[in-house]
Amino acid sequence: MLISISYDLRQPGRNYQPLYETIKSAQAWCHAMDSLWFIYTSETVHAWSEKLRRVTDEDDYLFVVDITGRPRAGWLQKATWEWLEKHDH
């Protein structure tokens, strides 16, 4: 499953290394933009949402969505598009 994770971290200066480490625990990951990651995993979006809520603050915003096989458009680095293509199965 190919999942997109985006967030809005509301507390300036907080150490969000645990969030990044949690995301990097996926089978494969791509940090596409400051607060946008793509991961390849066998776990559900709900499981990932729960994992990430444990390492974020209550007032942070989080959006986790399955993008497997979805049409995509935008302006990203070539390496990001290649990563998405490689893991979309």
Where do the domains of the chain lie?
A: 2-87
What is the pTM assigned to this prediction? 0.92
Q: Of all residues in the chain, what percent are helix, strand and coil, respectively (each to 5)? A: 30, 25, 45
- pLDDT tens, position by position, 8-52: 988 877 788 999 999 999 999 999 999 999 999 999 999 999 999
What are 72's two structure tokens?
């995509």
Backbone angles phi, psi at 62, to 5 degrees: -145, 135
Region 2-87: CATH code? 3.30.70.240
